[in-house]
Chain A
Amino acid sequence: GGGGAPADDAKSAEPVNWTANSVWPPENHQSAGLQEFANKVKEATNGQVEITVQTGGALGFKGPELLKVVRDGLVPVSDILTSGVAGDEPVFGVVTLPFLIQNFEEGKILNEIARPYFDKVAEEKWNQKILYISPWPAAGIWSKEKIESVEDMRGLKTRTYDKNGALVMEAVGGTPYPLPFSEVYSSLATGVIDSVLTSTPTAVDAKFWEVLKYYAPINVTMATDLVTVNLDEFNKLDEETREALIAAGKEMEEEMWAKVAELDKQKEAECNENGIETVQPSQEFLNELSSITKDIREEWLKQAPPEAKEIVSEFLKQVGRQ
Chain B
Amino acid sequence: MSLFIISFTLLGLLILLLGSSIWVGITLFLVGIAGFTLFTGSPPLTILSNILWNSTSGSTMMALPLFIFMGEILFRSKISENLFKGLSPWVNNLPGRLVHVNIVASALFAAVSGSSAATTATVGKITLPELLKRNYNKSLCLGSLAGAGSLGFLIPPSIVMLVYGIMSGVSIGKLFIAGIVPGVILAASFSLYAAMRCVFKPELAPRGEDNYTWSDRMKTLPLLLPVIILIVLVLGSIYTGWATPTEAAAVGVLGALFFAWISRSMDRKVFWEAVLGAIKTSCMIMLIVCGASFLSVAVGYLGIPAKLTTFIGELGLSKYQLIMILSIMYIILGCMLDGFSMIVMSLPLALPLITAAGFDPLWFGIYLVIMIEVSQITPPVGFNLFVINGLVEENIFRIARYALPSFVIMFLVVALITAFPQIVLTLPNMMIR
Contact = CB atoms under 8 A, between A and B. Distances in A.
Does B bind A?
A: yes
Interface residues of A, number: 37
B348 A186 contact: no
Contacts of B297: 58-60
A190 B237 CA distance: 9
A26 B53 CA distance: 24
A25 B43 CA distance: 26
Interface string B169-188: 10111001000000000000
Interface stretch (A39-47, A82-90, A98-106, A175-183): A175-183
Interface in B143-172: 157, 159, 162-163, 165-167, 169, 171-172
Interface string B339-352: 00100110110000
B242 interface: yes
B372 to A, nearest CB: 16
Nearest to B305: A58
Contact of B50 (A61, A179, A180, A205): A61
B115 interface: no
Contacts of B345: 58
B180 to A, nearest CB: 15
B243 A52 contact: no
Contact of A74 (B43, B58, B59): B43
Contacts of A189: 173
B42 A74 contact: yes
* Chain B interface size, under 10 / 10 to 19 / 20 to 34 / 35 or more: 35 or more
B58 A180 contact: yes
B46 A72 contact: yes
A191 interface: yes
Contacts of B84: none
A179 B244 contact: yes
A192 B46 contact: no
Interface in A186-238: 186-187, 189-192, 205-207, 210-211
A192 B242 contact: yes
B241 A192 contact: yes
A62 interface: yes
Given A60-B54, A192-B242, A186 B344 contact: no
B303 interface: yes
B240 A56 contact: no
A190 B241 contact: yes
B159 A192 contact: no
B305 to A, nearest CB: 9
Given A74-B43, A180-B60, A182-B159, A206 B172 contact: yes
Interface in B222-260: 238-246
B348 A26 contact: yes
A58 B50 contact: no
B50 A190 contact: no
B276 interface: no
Given A65-B53, A191-B241, A206-B172, A26 B166 contact: no
Given A54-B300, A180-B59, A211-B173, A25 B50 contact: no
Contacts of A65: 50, 53-54
B221 to A, nearest CB: 30
A36 interface: no
Given A56-B344, A58-B345, A74-B46, A186 B169 contact: no
8 contacts: A25-B167, A26-B167, A60-B296, A74-B50, A179-B244, A182-B166, A185-B172, A186-B244
In the A-B complex, list the 9 residue pairs whose CB atoms are closest, starting with the nearest. A191-B241, A60-B297, A190-B241, A182-B162, A58-B344, A185-B172, A26-B348, A60-B51, A210-B173
